[in-house]
Homo-oligomer: A and B are copies of this chain.
Amino acid sequence: MSDDSNTPTSRARLRVRQVSLDTGRENVVVISRHSRALRADIFRGFSRVELQTGSKVLLATLLITDDDTLVGPDDVGLSEPAFQRFCEPLGASVTIGPSASPESLDAVRAKIQGQVLQSAEIEAIIGDVTHYRYSDMEIAAFLIGSASFMTSGELIALVKAMANAGTQLKWSNPIVVDKHCIGGIPGNRTSMIAVPIVAAHGLTIPKTSSRAITSPAGTADTMEVLARVDVNVDEMREIVAACRGCLVWGGHVNLSPADDILISVERPLSLDIREQMVASIMSKKVAAGATHLLIDLPVGPTAKVVSSAEAMRLRKLFEFVGDHFGITVEAIMTDGRQPIGRGIGPVFEVEDVMSVLANNATAPADLREKSLRLAAHLLEYDPQLRGGAGYARARELLESGAAMRQMQAIIDAQGPSNCRTDVGKLTFDVLAANDGTISEIDCLRLNRLARTAGAPIDKGAGIRIFGKIGDHVEKGQPLYRIHAYDRSELDLATSAAKANCGYTIGAEPPMIGEITP
């Protein structure tokens, strides 16, 4: 509501100051309780305000201080993110006033009341979200209001609005392939094998990946052990020009920025809404300029998708959106019953990946096979390649060392990262409590344990897996080893593993062993 009562006609002016507060995604400003601009008693702590100078407006959450050394009565203090987003110099003169909600919130309320939204309304909502005009609770209102139903028209409008809100990559090649996994499976680093295979073959595959938000590693976190991943759009274009492929963090490239903001509210609420997941993924792929997209849908009792019926619904939705945007989409169901490979956490996952690329005899077979299978699908997007020849070609590129050379070229092009990459020396072995066959592994649980141990912030924290489903183990035999840099993190992960280690042997959940040095 752009209420005219907010016209800043005669508002007193404040000077912009910075306050050393990191407030994440949220814009926060601080004024003095004795502020000369507007009496603080009209505002309340955590109410929404707007700063204005010329035509520039910043919506923010207000804090009020009695401490004049923090913010004086003539000043307004901007938290770090707000200061960066407002882009006004220190000392700049602004007005502050109570902020009405963004106008597009009317559409959110209409949606909550069961109405179908027009494309322009969805575009306005996404525009306001992208420009940080929505508070957390307003974003939650949009997400939950849309949760009960979203028409196919609304879904298309949402993808389009999200894709248009950020960087849109264009490529000269007629075929640009991409892959995406909906996530949830520990150790599932197939991109780091499939991308070099596909690039070695000659297809363009400009892969952007996410960092972990609630998991122990995203592909970007793992790739960062080997190379810099926070490249900008121009650098990404250069890398792809040189190597045909890349493995970079999507965050710096600013693809579908609204998505990151929506996810920052979805995640803490653990909302799991099919249409929103599809919109999130497809908006990034549309913006990335992909023409062919392979989607990995792991299905398993502790995966994100627990039934093939649900996977089928998702597949139809991905295909529908892909068709609309002229993207050939293939969504395939994969085995999501347990972790892939033997490592969870960046350093351990890199060991698995490099072992596969190096064709080591001891490389994890499941990671190798899955990566080859996905690469095969991707390669068959090449019209030059005979139908059915993808797998053999993928294997050829892997076994000949071409994939490894391509990976090395990508690493060199992205340049070195300077993060710590040693394995965590503090360890705890989780032992089988009885003899038997491993029947279940809880992916959620292992993800959480690895994260508690410090991954992905600590690259060398995580889990090294010794036993997988179907393996026979004897009582006291180690199932996996938790690694950490930090004693308190190890202790936290250890006590969590003691409460529930995530493995089922036969029908009995296993008990826990003792701490190793």
Chain A residues packing against B (C-beta within 8 Å): 3-5, 7, 9-12, 19-26, 28, 30, 33, 39-42, 44-48, 63-67, 70, 79-81, 101, 105, 109, 112-114, 135-141, 144-145, 147-148, 265, 268-271, 448-449, 452, 457, 487-488, 491-493, 495-496, 499-500
Contacts and interface: CB of A to CB of B under 8 A. Distances in A.
26 contacts: A4-B496, A4-B499, A5-B448, A5-B496, A7-B492, A9-B491, A10-B492, A11-B488, A12-B488, A19-B67, A20-B65, A22-B44, A22-B45, A23-B45, A26-B46, A101-B270, A105-B269, A112-B144, A135-B268, A137-B139, A137-B265, A137-B269, A138-B269, A140-B144, A141-B144, A144-B145
B22 A47 contact: no
A19 B71 CA distance: 13
A147 B115 CA distance: 13
Nearest to A7: B495
A44 B267 CA distance: 13
A449 to B, nearest CB: 8
A456 B41 CA distance: 11
A21 B29 CA distance: 11
Nearest to A4: B499
Contacts of A105: 269-270
A391 B18 CA distance: 63
A268 to B, nearest CB: 7
Given A265-B137, A448-B5, A487-B10, A22 B64 contact: yes
A140 to B, nearest CB: 4
A135 B147 CA distance: 20
Contacts of A457: 39, 41-42
Contacts of A22: 33, 40, 44-45, 63-66
Contacts of A3: 448, 496
Ranked 9 nearest A-B pairs via Cβ: A24-B45, A24-B46, A20-B67, A137-B140, A22-B45, A22-B64, A5-B496, A136-B137, A140-B140
A107 to B, nearest CB: 12
Nearest to A265: B137
B144 A9 contact: no
A491 B28 CA distance: 28
Contacts of A10: 487-488, 491-492
A30 B493 CA distance: 26
A20 B66 contact: yes
